[in-house]
Amino acid sequence: MTGRALVLLGLLLGVGAQAVTVTPPPAPLTAEARTPLTFALTLDNPSAEVERGTLRLDLPPGWSLLAGDLDYALAPGERRVELLTLLPPAQLPAGELNLQVATLQGSAAVRLNVPAQPRLEVTVLSAPDASASSSYDVTWRVTNSGNVPQVLRLSAQGEGVQVTLSRSSLRLAPGEAAEVQAQVQVPLSGRARRLQVTLQVQGQGPGATSRVATDRVRRQPSVEELYHVFPLRVTLGTGTSAPGQLDFTVSGQGAPVQGDPGILDLLASRTAFRVAYRRPDLSWSAGQLTPRPIPCLRARCWGSPARGAWAP
């Protein structure tokens, strides 16, 4: 290679070394979801020739360029400030982020800082407007609408009702949602009124509250609930009774009233009576098994006088 060629090559390398440079903002910029972000880029052409080109802006998924010209034409020694406006996506995780801006000869990084913004949303998916039953269900959707993961604590309460949640905690990533169900137990007795159930969700930042109102309707009892059959067995006979006296036995076993979880045992005869009640949490009994006169039977029975011919 001749000396003239080496000089020409050196000039070309020198020009390349002094091509257009890009200077980003010196301090990190604050970026927020769906909020336009405007910043300045400084372009310098230290060469002795006109430099033309297009800035290459590497944007993460979901980002877009709203305003600004990426094409440039710089005269020798010219410095120019270009303003670019970007639109971040709706979901922007908290933390630090670098946006690369490059020319043909070099690149620079625009530093961004995304502050943490914990937010929650609670939406009612289903709830009855009115209910006549002893229980009903309510369903909510809990959404982490912020930009940080959250561990959520759930609680629910209602006035005059018992509320049971399907879960007491949730772990949600940014943008993630989950359903929460509540079973509301209503006392059988009571007047018609409006029942209100409140769901409270608490995370890292401000909590969220949702209230649901349901009208309680007095339910008309069914025929089965209005009437209750208690089985009784009656046995009549003379047996060992004295003349003019009638032996009898009345016995029965079953629920004393509709819906009662207990069992009532009943036994009565001419000479004794006994009644007993039992259920898992309670039991009692009363009666007299020793033969004694029963005053209420000192009357005519089947046309024959009963004069207290009972065992002493």
pLDDT digit string, tens, across residues 168-178: 999 999 999 99
One-letter amino acid of 158: G
pLDDT in tens, 185-197: 988 766 778 889 9
Residue 155, pLDDT > 70, answer yes
The CATH architecture assigned to 19-114 reads Sandwich (2.60)
| Residue-level pLDDT at 17 | 47
pLDDT of 221: 59
- Band of the pLDDT at 268, cuts 50, 70, 90? confident
**Percent of the chain having pLDDT more than 90?**
50
Q: Do domains 19-114 and 120-216 have the same CATH topology?
A: yes
pLDDT in tens, 28-51: 999 999 999 999 999 999 999 999
How high is the pLDDT of residue 201? 96
CATH superfamily of 120-216: Immunoglobulins (2.60.40.10)
* SS3 labels along the chain: CCHHHHHHHHHHHHHHHCCCEEECCCCCEECCCCCCEEEEEEEECCCCCCEEEECEEECCCCCEEEECCCEEEECCCCEEEEEEEEECCCCCCCEEEEEEEECCCCEEEEEEEECCCCCEEEEEEECCCEECCCEEEEEEEEEECCCCCEEEEEEEEECCCEEEECCCEEEECCCCEEEEEEEEECCCCCCCCEEEEEEEEECCCCCEEEEEEEEECCCCCCHHHHCCCCCCEEEEECCCCCCCCCEEEEEEEECCCCCCCCEEEEEEECCCEEEEEEECCEEEEEEECCCCCCHHHCCCECCECCCCCCCC
| pLDDT at 76 (0 to 100) | 93
How many percent of the chain have pLDDT more than 70?
77
Bridge partners (DSSP) listed for residue 38: 85
For residue range 114-135, what is the model confidence (pLDDT) as tens digits? 999 999 999 999 999 998 888 9
In angstroms, rounded to a whole number, what is the distance separating the alpha carbons of residues 232 and 250?
7
Q: Phi first, then psi: what are they for 15, rounded to 5°? A: -65, -40
Reference 84, options 98, 64, 103, 60; nearest CA is: 64
Residue (of 203, 52, 199, 222) closest to 132 by Cα position: 222
Burial of 80 (0-12, 13-18, 19+ CB in 10 A): middle
pLDDT band for position 303 (cuts 50, 70, 90): very low
Q: Rounded to whole angstroms, how far apart are CA atoms 102 and 47?
A: 18
Q: What is the pLDDT of residue 243?
A: 64
CA-nearest of 136, 114, 216 to 182 is 136
Write out pLDDT tens, residues 203-236: 988 999 999 999 988 766 555 555 667 677 777 7
- Distance, in Å, from the CA atom of 256 to the CA atom of 129, rounded to the nearest integer, reads 35
Mean confidence (pLDDT) of the chain: 81
Q: What are the residue boundaries of the structural domains of the chain, listed by start?
A: 19-114, 120-216, 224-297
Least confident piece of the model among 69-78, 148-157, 277-286: 277-286
Please report which confidence band the pLDDT of residue 305 belongs to, taking 50, 70 and 90 as the band edges: very low
Does residue 298 register a pLDDT over 50?
no
β-pairing verdict for 208-216 and 177-185: unpaired
Q: What are phi and psi of 189, to 5 degrees?
A: -95, 155
